[in-house]
Amino acid sequence: MNFVPGFKLGILGGGQLARMLALAAYPYGFQVYIYAKDPKEPAAQVTPHVFVGEPHDREALKNFLRQCDAVTFESEFLDATLLEGLCQESRVSVFPSPSLMGLLQDRLTQKQILFKHKIPTASYQEVSSESDFQKLKTFSKDVVLKQRRFGYDGYGTFFVNTTKNLLLWKKELQAKSAHGFIAETRIKFKRELALLLARDRHGQIVHFPLVESKQTNARCDWVMGPIQHPREPQLRKSLQLFLKKINYVGVMAFELFDTGQELLVNEIAPRVHNSGHYSLDALTLSQFQAHVLAVADCKLPSPQVLSAFAMANLLGQSTPIPQWDADWFYKNPSSQLHWYGKADSRKDRKMGHINSLSSTPQKALKQAQRARKKVRL
């Protein structure tokens, strides 16, 4: 590729993912354009090129797109049809493509595309009518109901025992049914893993190491790696083929269930992901670098692991002023703080994270958890 100084990278969204994408773009000499709801958002703090607008504001979006050489997004929950039309009008490309974003933002079409490409995943059933709901009784005893759109961090996810409390949930869900649901067989897993792949506009695909991730109260608590799994090479091959077949560009995150026997894909995110934040410190290429390079028409270098690692999220508590035990960090320099610069803290809000390096993932995790206690949130 031709490296273009001054390349104008547009990012739809102003949160921490957009901020870390922006910071990854700068060492390549790129300029960063941010489309955010509020100039106080994390990503709007790190560029002079801030466009304030609502996600559905046609004119504001079009005006933004026209400033950029290529555009990406930090959340897949945008209006795919609107965005696709604006891309054609403004002749500016959005990566990953709005049509793929549209397919993957909907858990039903996401499941359909996974099955179509023979990616191992839990079986599912659409739940959009009364009769769909009745069929659940024969589908599985334990199901997970997931809102088709706008679900994240556990929002819109419900665990149902179809022999015991199906009717109870039916009422609950009818109230929240605006987006429809899918039901999945509830998988008994030993642990959750995650895998990131990135594909550039030239078709080259690179992969990041397999990691274990721990969810607590449906939110990512920590991540550690690299993890070995005998099924990983085969799954990775399938996923690489999948990215190629759908002509995907950018980082894609795969959340996985390790059942002990097999690796099943739980969910896909067509973007950089919390499970890849460790890559800022532990690899020669971060997920944010990989994503911006792919979007900017550069070929991707293959990330190398520098050290075993762990990441611990810093979730908001009551007090808005965090305190940091600098003496501890002084004595433990292999733990790095990443703070997102959010204007307000609130309970369980992702305020930052800590990356720790050590000789094993387990030691790194202990270190990251110790480090987390040294930041009072």
Task: State how far the Cα of 339 lies from the Cα of 308, in Å rounded to an integer.
Answer: 22
- By beta-carbon proximity to a second copy, the closer residue of 32 and 197 is 32
Stretch that binds a second copy, among 43-51, 93-101, 143-151, 169-177 (CB under 8 A): 43-51
Task: State how far the Cα of 40 lies from the Cα of 140, in Å rounded to an integer.
Answer: 46
Cβ atoms of 295 and 347 closer than 8 Å: no
Please provide residue 184's backbone torsions phi and psi, each rounded to the nearest 5 degrees.
-120, 145
Asked if residue 39 binds a second copy (CB under 8 A), the reply is yes
Taking CB under 8 A as the criterion, the residue among 11, 205, 285, 294 binding a second copy is 285
Stretch that binds a second copy, among 1-9, 63-71, 223-231, 243-251 (CB under 8 A): 1-9
Asked if residue 96 binds a second copy (CB under 8 A), the reply is no
In one-letter notation, the amino acid at residue 229 is H
Stretch that binds a second copy, among 41-49, 98-106, 156-164, 238-246 (CB under 8 A): 41-49
DSSP H or E run through 236: helix 232-245
CB neighbours of 197 closer than 8 A, spacing ≥ 6? Answer: 205, 206, 207, 208, 236, 239, 240, 243, 251, 252, 254
Taking CB under 8 A as the criterion, the residue among 70, 83, 197, 357 binding a second copy is 357
User: CB of residue 161 vs a second copy: minimum separation in angstroms?
Assistant: 44
- Please tell me whether residue 330 adopts helix, strand or coil conformation: helix
Site residues for a second copy, window 299-338 (CB under 8 A)?
299-304, 306-307, 321-324, 326-327, 329-334, 336-338
Strands 191-199 and 211-216: antiparallel
User: CB of residue 239 vs a second copy: minimum separation in angstroms?
Assistant: 20
Q: Which residues bind a second copy (CB under 8 A)?
A: 1-6, 19, 23, 26-32, 39, 44-48, 50, 204, 280-281, 284-285, 298-304, 306-307, 321-324, 326-327, 329-334, 336-343, 352, 357, 375
